[in-house]
Structure 1
Amino acid sequence: MTGPVTIRPMTASDWPAVEAIYRAGIATGNATFEAEPPSWEHFHAGKLYAGRLVATDDTGTVLGWVAASPVSTREVYRGVVEHSVYVSPAAAGQGIGRQLVDAFISAAEGVGIWTIQSSIFPENAASLTLHNHAGFRRIGTRERIALMTYGPWAGQWRDTTLIERRSAAHES
C-alpha cells in the first residue's frame, strides 16, 4: 500500500476491483457461502446505497469494500442490515478493514440504521477480531446452518457466528 487511505462511495467503475477482492475472499472458503461473486447488476440491486464504500490508496487502487443489505422488507426492520466487509489480501493487516467498518457504521447511523449484523465463519478469526474491536458483540452460533458447496470445506455443514452492533442512539 502506498500513502494515505481514502474511503469513498463505491461506483460501478470500482466493480472489477471489488469483484476481484470478493473472489479472493471466496477462495479462502471462510468468507461466504457464495461460490461466485454476483454480477454488478445483482450486487447493485441488492445493496443499500448508504455505506456502500471502498477504500483506495493514493494511486486509486481499491484495497477493500463494505456494503449492506436490508435483513427484511418489512417496515419494522427498516433499520436493521446485514453487512459484509472484504479486504484485498495485499492490504490485509494494515487497518483497512477497521477504517471501512468505522466509516460504514457512521454512514449507516446517519441514515437511521440502528442494528448492523453479520454471520462470520468461526474460522475467520481476523474478521471476528475486527468486529469485536469495532463494538460488535457475539449473539450466538448458528450451528450447521448451511452445506458448503465449494472449496476446502465442500460437502461439510458449516457453523457461523452471528454478530451485531446496536447504535447507541437507539439503546434503551
Structure 2
Amino acid sequence: MSEVSLRPMRAADAGAVLAIYQTGLDGGDASFERTAPGWAEFDAARLAAHRFVAVGETILGWVAVSAVSSRPVYAGVVEHSIYVDPAARGRGVGRALLGALIDSTERAGVWTIQSGVFPENTASLALHHAAGFRTVGVRERLGRHGDRWRDVVLLERRSPLI
C-alpha cells in the first residue's frame, strides 16, 4: 500500500466518499440501497469519531460506523460500512481501513463491530474474515433488492480487549 495514508474523514471529502459509495452501489452486491444519500444524511447517520478515508493522489476508500441502537446497553456495538474505489482494490486499502476502524473503536470501548454482507460479495467476506470477523449466520431472504430476494451474511468482530 505504497503512498497511501489514512486519516479521519472530513466534510470536504463528501464528494469523493459519496462517489465511491455510489460506485459500490452500482455494482449491485454492496447494499440494499440503490442511491447514495446526500452528505447531510450520510453525516448524521454515522459516528464522527470512527470515520476514516484512505488517501493516495485521491480518496481511495472509506470506512464508517453507525450505532446499532440508542439503548445504553448497546453503546459498545456498532455496524460498519466499508467501500473501496475499484481502481484501488487489491492494494490493501480495505485491510488498512478496517485496521484503523478496529483500533479507533477499541480505544473508545466498542466491543462489537458488525456488518451485513451479501454472500455474492466474496471479496468483502474474505477481507472481513482476514480482519478477524466471524460469520454469525446467514439471514435468508432478508430483503428485496430490485426484483429478487437477497440473503445477508451477518459478520461480527468481538474485541479481545474489552
Is this a same-fold pair by TM over 0.5? yes
Residue 4 of structure 1 deviates from its aligned partner by 1.5
Partner of 1:17: 16
Does residue 96 of structure 2 align to residue 99 of structure 1?
Answer: yes
Measured in 2, the distance between the counterparts of 1:51 and 1:44 equals: 12
Give the Cα separation in 1 of the matches to 2:16 and 2:73.
35
Structure 1 residue 136, shift from structure 2 partner: 0.3
Please name the residue that 2:150 is paired with. 158
1:110-160 per-position Cα deviation (integer Å, ceiling 9, x unaligned) = 111100000000000000000000000000000000001xxxxx2100000
Cα deviation, residue 103, structure 1: 0.5
The CA distance in 2 between the partners of 1:119 and 1:64, in whole Å, is: 18
Q: CA deviation at 1:50?
A: 1.9
Q: RMSD of the TM alignment (CA)?
A: 1.0
Q: CA deviation at 1:169?
A: 1.5
| In structure 2, distance between residues paired with 1:50 and 1:126 | 26
Cα distance, 1:8 vs structure 2: 0.3
Q: Please name the residue that 2:160 is paired with.
A: 168
How many Å separate the matches in 1 of 2:107 and 2:160? 12
Instruction: Show the counterpart of 1:50.
Output: 49
- Give the aligned partner of residue 151 of structure 1: none
Q: Distance in 2 between matches of 1:66 and 1:47?
A: 10
Q: Distance in 1 between matches of 2:38 and 2:105?
A: 24
- Counterpart of 2:133 in structure 1 is 136
SS at match of 1:45: helix
For 1:118, which of 115, 119, 125 is the aligned residue?
115
For residues 92 and 19 of structure 1, what CA distance do their matches in structure 2 show? 17
| Match in the other structure for 2:143 | 146
Alpha-carbon displacement from aligned partner over 1:14-43 (angstroms, at most 9, x marks no partner): 010001100110011100111110110011
Segments of structure 1 that go 5 or more residues without pairing to the other structure are: 149-153
Q: Which stretches of structure 1, 4 residues or longer, exceed 2 Å deviation after superposition?
A: none
Output the amino acid matched with 1:147: R
Unaligned 5+ segments in structure 2 are none
Counterpart mapping for 1:14-93 below 5 A: 14-57=13-56, 59=57, 61-93=58-90
Task: Give me the identity figure in percent.
Answer: 54
Deviation at 1:51, TM superposition (A): 1.8
Matches of 1:110 and 1:42, distance apart in 2: 26
